[in-house]
A and B are shown apart, each in its own frame.
Chain A
């Protein structure tokens, strides 16, 4: 199965820069970008306009901004961690905020990593490169467990 990155980011420029940074660092995995909190939840849990999507096609890592329209990044994180089908997904907060309060809340709700996006593109590009390498190459996730939990959920429903 192809490894996929889910980027939830409402700033078009940032999304574009992330894409460029990935490409320029030769990370060619599929990148799904969603710019709205509510839509992101529909995507993750295969609801609404993503109802046909198979929940078993899980993203390898979710890059999540905090400030989003409708539903905030922290709320999305909460929902992901509350559902057995998604609670083991790696979620990386990728945000401009250096506020300690934001970091505390993010970690309390169970994020796997908290990255501040630098203003300098060179530093930004480096950060994205590191992220990609770490979560797509080095890190492992229990894929079978995701499938099992998804099936269990289907049977219960």
Chain B
């Protein structure tokens, strides 16, 4: 049993060893799949540094790597490779278009790239526009290529030229042989680019029925490899490898897909009408603008013509000026002088070019240096001129405008002289008035203080004597002393009146609206009170108002009504009236009485101081009252006059300039 067990254990161990070993051997020994690639079918199959390269080559390698298989490419012509696969010399081809002709000999993986075939022609060949145009043309195709199968199948043309590679086909066509190539589009474009061919273009015409669905192909019946390839292909399609390879091999050309011509074909239908429309708009706009500009130009020409005429007229302006007008340079050299200037300066010969005095030079320079207008007064040939010097900085000269101011100057001088004479006169008068005034003040002072004392002495000592000796003195002597006393008193009164008169002249007026009627009533009452024995009728008009100094107006009424009272002393039914009248459009007041009146012959003497028209015995008085009245009226700028006839009473009229307002 022991041996049996040992044997069994050996068998089991060996079996496990074999299994693991086989498995390990399989894993280590990567199976190499044989494949083939063409010389030049870019970018799908091509040769780089003697090795197979291109999109399909790389894709096949990646798909096989994905299922842990390796691949080995042999390079050859397409037709040979096709045969090699058919005969089982190689396992797989990376780029085989699925066509009906190939279905019986190959098995295909699923399509990894469907692409359209295309027609390539020489540039500028206008005969070929569609596939139909190829019917009588010589068409080059690659031997065994889908294109060959397609042209045969479709009987595109009886003249088919089959060559080994498309490189050869391109070279043939480029060198002017045959008419067109039918091939896979992208591959063709790659070849053109890689070979540097410039005279072959792809016809923008899709060939219907020549769609190539590219797949990997294996020998008919190699189902196992086909399954493996599909598995690998789907792996690389899902893990992004396909995407990366596609990017690597196709993008550069796809970017170039739109040629200038294509771009132009797409854009021209829009661009050309746009340009035409814009041009039309521009044309109309510029036509309108030209019209406007033409009009403007015409207007400008017109206004320039006018301006020219005006400036020609204006140019005559200084020439026609009756006052001297000159233009001087810094050196006081004349560069222009009008007729008036020539006459004024009395130039001998040509005024222009003459040089004026240094004074002019100084003034011109000063005006130019300070850039300010200057004034110059000058006497020329007995006339006085005033010149205004206006600097023109840019021209470095000055315009000089003169005017004859002789008369004005003379008048001004006379006025100044008259003024100064008047001023002197006023000064003199003021001084003499001031002197007079101070004399008058001193006189007044002296009169007030000193003149009355001697009178008082005369009066008083006479009185004392009279009182002392009244019993023993003869009547005549008493009368003498009496006369001394009376006269001293009279003289005292005269002095008082004189002082009053001079006081009035010095009085400052305080005017206001004064009710003459009420003042007259008061004065009348005072008069009646002073001599109650007399019966005098007073007629005083109500509402007499004037603008005057109240105290002085009282004095006026006192004097005038006092006179009336006095001179009605000896008439029957004495009457005194105070009223007003409009005389010579002036509100005039009056004091009227029915007294003894006076002879109008002496009316001039009436208002003079110390002039009396009646004897003092008959009507006592100093002869100063009316003088005071007149003085008061005069300082009010008023008027006073009297009308009378002997024994028919008198009327004293007076008015004030500042009447009541």
Contacts and interface: CB of A to CB of B under 8 A. Distances in A.
Interface stretch (A104-112, A114-122, A134-142): A114-122
A96 B488 CA distance: 14
B464 interface: yes
A99 B444 contact: yes
A17 B456 contact: yes
A97 interface: yes
A2 interface: no
Nearest to A121: B460
B489 A17 contact: no
Nearest to B462: A121
A13 interface: yes
Nearest to A9: B453
A95 interface: yes
A14 interface: yes
B453 A14 contact: yes
B457 A13 contact: yes
Contacts of A67: 449-450
Interface in A36-71: 66-67
Contacts of B463: 121-122
A50 B496 CA distance: 39
Interface in A1-31: 11, 13-14, 17, 20
Contacts of A66: 449
Interface string B444-457: 11001111111111
Interface residues of B, number: 26
A140 to B, nearest CB: 31
B499 interface: yes
Contact of B488 (A13, A117, A119): A119
A96 B459 contact: no
A17 B452 contact: no
Contacts of B144: none
B464 A99 contact: no
B492 interface: yes
Contacts of A17: 456-457, 460
Contact of B453 (A96, A102, A121, A122): A96
A14 B462 CA distance: 14
A77 to B, nearest CB: 16
A153 interface: no
A14 B503 CA distance: 26
B492 A119 contact: yes
Contact of B459 (A14, A20, A99, A120): A120
Nearest to A10: B453
A118 B496 CA distance: 11
Contacts of A20: 460, 464
B399 to A, nearest CB: 70
A122 B486 CA distance: 12
Chain A interface residue bracket vs B: 20 to 34
Given A20-B464, A98-B496, A98-B499, A118 B448 contact: no
A99 B452 contact: no
A121 B449 contact: no
A42 B259 CA distance: 143
B449 A96 contact: yes
A96 B452 contact: yes
B445 A99 contact: yes
A117 B456 contact: yes
Given A121-B464, A122-B463, A97 B456 contact: no
B501 to A, nearest CB: 13
A97 B448 contact: yes
A50 B461 CA distance: 33
Nearest to B457: A13
A75 to B, nearest CB: 15
B448 A121 contact: no
A95 B457 CA distance: 14
B449 A118 contact: no
B380 to A, nearest CB: 65
Interface string A60-103: 00000011000000000000000000000000000111111010
A23 B477 CA distance: 26
A120 B452 CA distance: 10
Contacts of A99: 444-445, 448, 499, 503
Contacts of B455: 119
A121 B444 contact: no
Contact of B452 (A102, A119, A122): A119
A20 B503 CA distance: 34
Contacts of A95: 449
Contacts of B464: 20, 121
B108 to A, nearest CB: 150
Contacts of B457: 13-14, 17
Given A97-B448, A98-B448, A99-B445, A124 B460 contact: yes
A96 B463 CA distance: 19
Nearest to B506: A101
Interface of A: 11, 13-14, 17, 20, 66-67, 95-100, 102, 117-122, 124
26 contacts: A11-B453, A13-B453, A13-B454, A13-B456, A14-B453, A20-B460, A67-B450, A96-B450, A96-B456, A97-B448, A97-B449, A98-B448, A99-B448, A100-B503, A102-B448, A117-B452, A118-B456, A118-B492, A119-B455, A119-B489, A120-B489, A121-B459, A121-B463, A121-B464, A124-B456, A124-B460
Nearest 3 A/B pairs, CB to CB:
A121-B460, A119-B492, A13-B457
Given A67-B449, A121-B456, A124-B456, 5 more contacts: A11-B453, A17-B456, A119-B491, A121-B462, A121-B464
